[in-house]
Amino acid sequence: VAAAPDPPVRLIAIDWGTSALRAWLLGAEARRLGTRETPHGIMRLPQGGFAEALDAAAGDWIRAHPALPIVACGMVGSAQGWREVPYRRTPADAAALAEGLAAVDIGDGRHMHIVPGILHDATLPDVMRGEETQIVGALQTCDEAPRRRLFVLPGTHSKWVSTAAACIVSLRTFLTGEVYAALREHTILGRLMTDGGGPDPAAFALGLRTAGEQHGEAGLLGNLFSARSLALTGRLAGGALPDYLSGLLIGAELAGARAMFPVGGFGVEDEIGVVGSASLSARYVEALRAVGHRRIAVHADAAVDGLWNIARRAGLVVA
């Protein structure tokens, strides 16, 4: 009996951020042939640095396929990364990102191509590295690409990105995740919080409502103290406070983003894309539903589709 022939390989795709490295071995039409994840983000590299981290994640693939192109996105292209790749400016589409690819020597005569981040050079400038590739991937799976779209990429630094005709046109970072951690660990708000009760959807929803229609006018700074006073007055248990605070923050983020982006014509009737991990995306979907959005598309693993698309535009792979 002859063994089935190995499927043809086309690309090694890498999403290399601050705290993790994810790698995919891709076949024709971006078919996933293998997936790896290591904790070797650029701030958590092993002894041997970038080369060692890449080898640990994908060394066997690289050696087995000497001609295979390698494309990476994320903080690996930052000043703290393997090679600093200059930002592309808005507006930028997949072709512009492909044009901006920069190669880094990974040894043995091989190179890894790094996707540039994006600089939105407005009155308040903003930047992203990695999320632009996720947007390119998410746009591919949208039903009609040329329209204006709004995406949120939840995280430590949530990104809100608007696109038009498959071009990234504007960008705003919300510091939601990092502020949550700082408030919980380093302010009086953490004192009454207890863990272990599991998620508390009612407390999360109450936080959303407080940040939204009910008390939104006071703003985040004017609502935060309620994450203490509601417990002091016996209306919320200590175990409910983490989810209440999460609701206050995501609700404030949503109110800000909705107020900021309607100039582009976004309303509850327009599709919003949520790009990210399942658990965090679920919170944002709930928050969007709570303010009336019904057309919400969730994009998981968008980075790999974006890397494929950019590699294809750069002529590194053929579909």
213: contact with a second copy by CB under 8 A = no
Minimum separation from the CB atom of position 204 to a second copy (A): 17
Size of the site for a second copy (CB under 8 A): 50
Minimum separation from the CB atom of position 210 to a second copy (A): 7
Nearer to a second copy, 174 or 204 (CB): 174
> Taking contact as CB under 8 A, which single stretch among the options 3-11, 96-104, 249-257, 303-311 is the one that binds a second copy?
249-257
Q: H or E stretch including 72?
A: strand 70-73
* Best CA proximity match to 53, nearest among 74, 68, 33, 67: 74
List 68, 203, 252, 317, residue binding a second copy (CB under 8 A): 252
DSSP class of residue 211 equals I
Per-residue mark of binding to a second copy, 126-145 (x: CB under 8 A): xx------------------
C-beta of residue 72 within 8 angstroms of C-beta of residue 36: no
Q: How far apart are CA 312 and CA 95, in angstroms?
A: 9
Question: Can you state the angle between helices 302-313 and 131-140, rounded to 10 degrees?
Answer: 90
C-beta of residue 156 within 8 angstroms of C-beta of residue 178: yes
67: contact with a second copy by CB under 8 A = no
Q: Which amino acid is at 77?
A: G
Bond prior to 91 in cis (omega within 30° of 0) = yes
Q: How far apart are CA 151 and CA 215, in angstroms?
A: 26
Per-residue mark of binding to a second copy, 259-288 (x: CB under 8 A): xx----------------------------
Nearer to a second copy, 142 or 218 (CB): 218
List 221, 278, 318, 319, residue binding a second copy (CB under 8 A): 221
List 125, 199, 201, 265, residue binding a second copy (CB under 8 A): 125
List 43, 103, 145, 188, residue binding a second copy (CB under 8 A): 188
Q: How far apart are CA 94 and CA 115, in angstroms?
A: 10
Neighbours of 29 (CB within 10 A): 8
* Best CA proximity match to 281, nearest among 181, 153, 150: 153
Please state whether beta strands 70-73 and 88-89 pair in parallel, antiparallel, or not at all (unpaired). unpaired
Strands in 21-27's sheet, in edge-to-edge order, are: 32-38, 21-27, 9-16, 70-73, 110-114, 102-107
> Taking contact as CB under 8 A, which single stretch among the options 39-47, 95-103, 122-130, 280-288 is the one that binds a second copy?
122-130
> Taking contact as CB under 8 A, which single stretch among the options 95-103, 143-151, 162-170, 217-225 is the one that binds a second copy?
217-225
> Taking contact as CB under 8 A, which single stretch among the options 27-35, 222-230, 271-279, 283-291 is the one that binds a second copy?
222-230
Residues forming the site for a second copy (CB under 8 A): 119, 121, 123-127, 157, 160, 172-176, 178-179, 181-183, 185-189, 210, 214-215, 217-226, 229-230, 232-233, 235, 249, 252-253, 255-257, 259-260
